[in-house]
Chains A and B, each alone.
Chain A
Amino acid sequence: MSLDLHTAAPPGGGGDPARPARAAHRRPASLTRLDLKYSPYLYVLPFFAIFAVFSAYPIGYTIWIALTDRSPLNATISFVGLDNFVELLTEDPQFWNAVVNTFGMFLLSTVPQLLLALVLANALNRKLRAQTFFRMAIAMPIITSTAVVALIFSMLYAKEFGLVNWLLDLVGLGPIDWRANRLASWFAISTMVDWRWVGYNALIYLAAMQSISKDMYEAAALDGASRRRQFWSITIPQLRPTIIFTLIVSTIGGLQLFTEPLLFTSGSGGISGGSEGQFQTITMYLLDVMNTRFRWGYAGAVALVLFLLIALVSLVNYLLARRISSDK
């Protein structure tokens, strides 16, 4: 497609017959110099304008607000130093409950998600008929929104008439109250995350697998290495950068978990994450503090700690994944 570019776009302005290229020659040299020097800045300006107003400024403001007791209920704002952080880290069991829930669901979703994606990608990497069909079918969940996923799975996990409990009943297991039990609710929410993201990650792994030289596999096969052995000794180490990438993306996404647990409760009051907050995540708690208790300064502290946690876990994941090939 990019080949017919030469004919499609004659340099000097096709499609504008009123101004032949020669006219441009007569532009004053100073104007050309200005154009060369400043137009790049003009082209990147939209991003930096939006970034400054809607990202950088709010982030800076968050740091400031976290050091105050600002609230729409207070007439005055006073500086409280690190009080918010001290309270958050030492006297707030509900925050720690949210941290435990978030990490629990993060682990419960990310580990199977990436393992399943690897297995699926390995299968898709074989010689297959109907390749496009398989890829499309497996990628299809990415068209659903997290809200849609949450609503569909909420019904699958309904206590009374849910399909999952019906299946359990078939094999003689009692019904599970997927919302009341902490571990069960984590499991249910994790399957929502996995359903949406396994296929996406499988495609990313597949793309990386296809760029591994086939000679390596042939040589290994000649040496008598089994397929399983080839998978662990060639595929996984070669995928290291991709695994790091998916781990970091899943960390950033997983620790922000919000929509699925929010909509897992039907009716109002979803923000509290179950009757005893058994599946309230950090982001839900953040909005709880901000919109229900109106403690804006404190909410700033929650947001900052959430960000630091994400950065820390991403770093740990990066360091762990970097060791993949040196293990072998």
Chain B
Amino acid sequence: MTTTTLRPPVRRTPKAPRDTHKADRLWKATPLTWVGLVLGVILSLFPFYWMIVIASRTNDAANSWPPPFLPGGKLGENIARVLENGDANIVKGLMNSFLVSGTITIATVFFGSLAGFAFAKLRFRGKNAMLLVILASMMVPIQLGVLPLYILMAKLEWLNTMPSVTVPFLIGGFGIFMMRQYAEQAVPNELIEAARVDGCSTWRVYWHVVVPALRPAAAVLGLLTFMEQWNQFFWPFVVLADPANPTVQISLRSLNTAYFADNSQIFAGTLIATLPLFIVFVLFGRQIIGGIMEGAVKS
């Protein structure tokens, strides 16, 4: 169902010769459209603004009536306090999150493109059955196996270490489906045949023909994977119980469980935890949005 179609970037020009006056009016934005959109944008962006407001206030000012509406001057101070917070270990959390998300992203792009290539372009027995297993695996929530997985991690002595939140997620069904769909359209069969005639092994076909063609889709898959992994909470919450070695999301949880709820510190923490993805979004927002929009249409 989650078949991904990431077509090669072909721009459709909406301008058709019979774009008459009447048809134009049909697609014109009414005042109501604008009101709806502006309202949508305000609601979408307000919590980000609020994050900055509270993160830049003293805790007393954050908890006052009426609530503060403008940013204050304490942002640096609050960030310094949260970075030094011994219960949250957010610096460690940030480093761990970069390590875990980065490793999973590289592995997903690599293994996903390999398997996607195999499913799109190679012939082998059991292919369809395997695809079905991959599809089914995407519909099973992690909760179903959470307890045995926890026991397994304990046996491997991976509890409270980063392999427990990395290794099980190195490659998932989504990456394979996305790469398979793209490879089907972006890698011409003739090119593979030509490489074969020249005596290329399958590996060399992958490396020299498929990989260059898959680059745009691989970039989008990498972005989506990194974002998803950076934001993981449930499984890290189960296996990283020791606050000394958290991911950044678990650091946030530690801030929230403190005996005294220091809101300006919590909000400075959420700001720090969101900043890396904010930068990613500013730089690659178009690609991410393109990936989502191309991603789920055909089912």
**Contact (Cβ within 8 A) A152 B114:** no
**Contact (Cβ within 8 A) A147 B249:** yes
B22 beta carbon closer than 8 Å to chain A: yes
Q: How far is the CA of A175 from the CA of B167 in the complex (A)?
A: 47
B80 beta carbon closer than 8 Å to chain A: no
Interfacial chain A residues near B151, Cβ < 8 Å: 61, 296
Q: How far is the CA of A61 from the CA of B153 in the complex (A)?
A: 14
**Contact (Cβ within 8 A) A144 B274:** yes
Bits for A131-174, please: 1 = Cβ < 8 Å to B, else 0: 01011111111111111110111111010111100100000000
Q: How far is the CA of A120 from the CA of B37 in the complex (A)?
A: 7
What DSSP secondary structure best describes chain B's contact surface? helix
Interfacial chain A residues near B11, Cβ < 8 Å: none
Q: Give chain B nearest CB distance to A253 CB in angstroms.
A: 9
Q: How far is the CA of A40 from the CA of B120 in the complex (A)?
A: 11
- Residues in A276-328 with C-beta less than 8 Å from chain B: 283, 286-287, 290, 296, 299-300, 303-304, 306-307, 310, 314
Number of interface residues of A (CB under 8 A): 122
**Contact (Cβ within 8 A) A221 B22:** yes
Q: Among the interface residues A61, A145, A245, which one has the most CB atoms of the partner chain B within 10 A?
A: A145
| Interface positions of B (Cβ within 8 A of A) | 1-2, 8-9, 22-24, 26-30, 33, 36-37, 40-41, 43-45, 47-48, 50-51, 54, 62-67, 111, 114-115, 117-119, 122-124, 127, 130, 133-134, 137, 139-141, 143-152, 167-168, 170-173, 176, 186, 191, 194-195, 198-206, 208-209, 212-213, 215-216, 227, 230-234, 237-238, 249, 252-253, 255-259, 261, 263, 266-267, 269-270, 273-274, 277-278, 280-281, 285-286, 288-289, 292-299
- 18 further contact pairs, Cβ within 8 A, besides A54-B168, A137-B44: A2-B213, A9-B209, A11-B191, A11-B195, A12-B200, A39-B118, A44-B130, A47-B173, A57-B152, A126-B28, A136-B286, A139-B288, A140-B281, A142-B227, A146-B233, A163-B67, A218-B23, A290-B150
| Interface positions of A (Cβ within 8 A of B) | 1-2, 5-6, 8-15, 21-25, 27, 32, 35-37, 39-41, 43-44, 46-48, 50-51, 53-55, 57-59, 61-62, 65, 119-120, 123-128, 132, 134-149, 151-156, 158, 160-163, 166, 195, 198-200, 203-204, 206-208, 211, 214, 217-218, 221, 241-242, 244-246, 248-249, 252, 256, 258-259, 262-263, 266-268, 270, 283, 286-287, 290, 296, 299-300, 303-304, 306-307, 310, 314
